[in-house]
């Protein structure tokens, strides 16, 4: 008995692994890492929302449940995309401007 031929791959993009630092996307046979530090809006996403990713065109990623769109090139060449998340910018600005508070006790 001969097995039937496998169907074609219906997913042009898929999440292959998730770690505390980010997740890996397989896009067109190439794996790319998406860092939560560089893309913080993914950090609090559920696994279901994170893995529900679409590739509407070869250069465009879309997460419908999260309402997030990314250019594939932004994963390959983040230096070409200098804008960062407002959430990350606010956090870094707070860290830079807030000195640790020392307790002031009178003798």
**Mean pLDDT over all residues of the chain?**
79
Residues 43 and 34: beta-carbon distance below 8 Å: no
| Separation between Cα atoms, residue 38 and residue 22, nearest integer Å | 9
Place of tokens 């990350």: 88
Q: How confident is the model at residue 78 (pLDDT cuts 50, 70, 90)?
A: confident
Across the strands, what pairs with 18? 23
> What tokens were used for 107?
């003798």
pLDDT digits over 28-71, tens only? 999 999 999 888 889 999 999 999 999 999 999 999 999 999 99
Q: Does domain 13-97 have CATH number 3.30.750?
A: no
């Amino acid at each position: 008995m001969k097995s039937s031929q496998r169907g074609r791959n219906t997913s042009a993009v898929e999440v292959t692994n998730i770690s505390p630092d980010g997740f890996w996307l397989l896009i067109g046979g190439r794996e790319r890492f998406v860092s939560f530090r560089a893309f913080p809006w993914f950090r609090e996403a559920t696994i279901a929302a994170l893995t529900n990713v679409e590739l509407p065109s070869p250069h465009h990623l879309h997460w419908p449940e999260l309402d997030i769109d990314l250019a594939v090139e932004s994963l390959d060449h983040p230096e070409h995309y200098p804008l960062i998340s407002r959430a990350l910018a606010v956090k870094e600005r707070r860290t830079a401007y807030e000195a640790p508070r020392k307790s002031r006790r009178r003798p």
